[in-house]
Chain A
């Protein structure tokens, strides 16, 4: 039982490049989330998926797209990376509607030059 896994762990991009961050969970959770965390800051919600087949914008969706490929997988795409997107990205999941216990992946540390 791996929990929530994310790939890659580290990535360096040049401005304008694109990439996809992958996330998968093996806990049969319905909801999945993408957050970004900047130094000294809390987690800001980028997008979330309450269930397979649905996605919704969070607090900071601009510059990102997501795909809920199936119940297990939720990917985050940066179409044209910008230095302002340098951050640590966390994927999370939880099962119970209205209950805030989220399980987090180890994070992807992204630098955009």
Chain B
């Protein structure tokens, strides 16, 4: 089966940089993606890595190392609105089956 591990909570200061790590175990790895979810809202897609390396989308970057079964999400120039839960997710198998981690709750403080 699939399993993912990420920290449950992270606190960071407004304007700073924060890194949220994700390690995974899966068969037939298809890619690692990241989602943001504000309290009471639906998850929204942030980024996707199929290959090793860094993907940058504005203030957010995501990194993948397939040999280490590891990835991270990097948030720069933190804003108060970035306070949310962040989930890593892996695709696996021959189908579009996606497994989510349990999420990291990010609190941005002034």
The residues of A with any CB-CB pair to B shorter than 8 Å are 31, 33, 35, 40-45, 48, 50, 56, 58-59, 90, 94, 97-107
- Interface residues of chain A: helix, strand, loop or mixed (majority): loop
Residues B41-59 near A (CB distance < 8 A): 41-45, 48, 50
B98 part of interface (Cβ distance < 8 Å): yes
New A-B contacts (16) at CB < 8 Å, excluding given A48-B97, A100-B90, A100-B98: A41-B103, A42-B4, A42-B87, A43-B87, A44-B100, A45-B97, A48-B95, A50-B95, A98-B31, A98-B50, A98-B91, A99-B91, A100-B45, A102-B98, A104-B43, A106-B41
Contact in complex: B30, A100 (CB < 8 Å):
yes
Contact in complex: B96, A107 (CB < 8 Å):
no
Neighbouring A residues of B26 by C-beta, 8 Å? none
What does the 1/0 interface line of B62-105 toward A look like (CB < 8 Å)?
00000000000000000000000001011100011111111100
User: Which residue of chain B lies nearest to A107 when distances are taken between CB atoms in the complex?
Assistant: B42
Alpha-carbon gap, A105 to B41, bound state (A): 9
Known interface pairs A98-B96, A100-B48, A101-B48; A43-B43 also in contact (CB < 8 Å): yes
Alpha-carbon gap, A48 to B101, bound state (A): 18
Contact in complex: B31, A90 (CB < 8 Å):
no
